[in-house]
């Protein structure tokens, strides 16, 4: 049973290392793209292709890149949380299948608690960031809705003013 657990932990470690390498590769590609964008550009030869609409991004979105927090989350936080959840599930499953696991349950629960402390803090921080993003989205949509309302009110006032000016002009012409 212990050999099986060690094998699973080795597989998890290999997968985590692989994901870490992918993230590092993505960061290198992003850094190279930034450097290439800053180089003086050569004249481009236009290609004959079908014209498609390009999705444009705002300047804020376009300038976002991979940050330290992104690296931290993908290399440390995500594997830690997954390891914690996986190990807890493994202990529960093993405890239901094998009575010898229940004899050593104190050691397993200690390990789960050691992994669980940082994992719970990471989950809490991730939820706090998510709540903040949702609050920002809500504030943005409120502001956008108010702008639409203000625009509609201004358009209606302008239409009424134009109509009033036309009526004044018509009355002046009728008096002459």
In a domain, 60, yes or no: no
Confirm if 84 and 119 have CB atoms less than 8 A apart. Answer: yes
Domain that holds residue 121: 2-36+67-175
Confidence of residue 48 (pLDDT cuts 50, 70, 90): low
Q: How far apart are CA 104 and CA 82, in angstroms?
A: 23
Cβ count within 10 A of residue 27: 15
In a domain, 62, yes or no: no
In a domain, 61, yes or no: no
Check residue 47 and report its DSSP letter: P
Confidence of residue 43 (pLDDT cuts 50, 70, 90): low
Q: Which residue has the tokens 């499953």?
A: 93
CA end-to-end span of the chain, whole Å? Answer: 106
Q: How far apart are CA 25 and CA 62, in angstroms?
A: 20
In a domain, 47, yes or no: no
pLDDT of residue 52: 56
In a domain, 73, yes or no: yes
Number of domains in the chain: 1
In a domain, 46, yes or no: no
pTM beyond 0.75: the answer is no
pLDDT (tens digit per residue) in 119-175: 888 888 878 887 888 888 899 999 999 999 999 999 999 999 999 999 999 988 888
pLDDT of residue 159: 95
pLDDT (tens digit per residue) in 55-114: 555 555 445 567 676 677 777 777 878 888 888 888 888 877 778 877 888 888 888 888
pLDDT of residue 131: 86
pLDDT of residue 62: 46
In a domain, 103, yes or no: yes
In a domain, 51, yes or no: no
**CA 124 distance to own-chain centroid:** 16
Average pLDDT over residues 18-24: 75
C-alpha separations of 146 from 134, 137, 157, 168 in Å: 18, 14, 16, 33
């Amino acid at each position: 049973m212990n050999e099986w657990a060690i094998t699973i932990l080795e597989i998890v470690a290999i997968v985590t290392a692989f994901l870490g390498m992918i993230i590092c590769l993505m960061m290198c590609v992003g850094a190279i793209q930034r450097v290439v964008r800053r180089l003086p550009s050569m004249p481009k030869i236009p290609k004959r292709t079908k014209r498609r609409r390009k999705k444009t991004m705002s300047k804020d979105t376009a300038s976002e890149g991979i940050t330290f927090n992104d690296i931290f989350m993908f290399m440390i936080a995500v594997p830690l949380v997954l390891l914690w959840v996986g190990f807890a599930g493994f202990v529960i499953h093993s405890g239901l299948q094998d009575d010898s696991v229940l004899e050593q349950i104190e050691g397993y629960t200690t390990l789960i608690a050691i992994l669980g402390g940082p994992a719970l803090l990471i989950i809490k921080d991730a939820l706090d960031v998510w709540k903040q993003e949702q609050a920002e989205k809500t504030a943005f949509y409120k502001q956008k809705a108010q702008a639409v309302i203000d625009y509609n009110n201004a358009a209606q006032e302008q239409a009424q003013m134009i109509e009033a000016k036309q009526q004044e002009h018509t009355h002046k012409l009728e008096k002459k």
